[in-house]
Amino acid sequence: MTTLHVPDMTCQHCVATITRLIQQADPQAQLQIDLGQHKVAVDGKLNSAELIGLLEDAGYTPTEL
């Protein structure tokens, strides 16, 4: 499982966007998103670099925890 800190994930729209991006790249991925803590945990086939790249391409600034 990869856990990312996404400080600019600030609303439910962000949560929906991040969920959609990850599930498009890996439909089998299991996500746990904590909006209050700005954390996204992903259990799937994408590695941390791929996940970070996906989110950066969408304008977010994730870092791995």
Q: What confidence tens digit (pLDDT) does each residue in 9-60 have?
A: 999 999 999 999 999 999 999 999 999 999 999 999 999 999 999 999 999 9
The model carries a pTM of 0.92
Query: Which pLDDT score, from 0 to 100, does residue 50 have?
Result: 97
- SS3 string, 30-56, reads EEEEECCCCEEEEECCCCHHHHHHHHH
Structural domains in the chain?
2-64 (3.30.70.100)
Query: Which pLDDT score, from 0 to 100, does residue 4 have?
Result: 98
In single-letter form, the type of residue at position 26 comes to: D
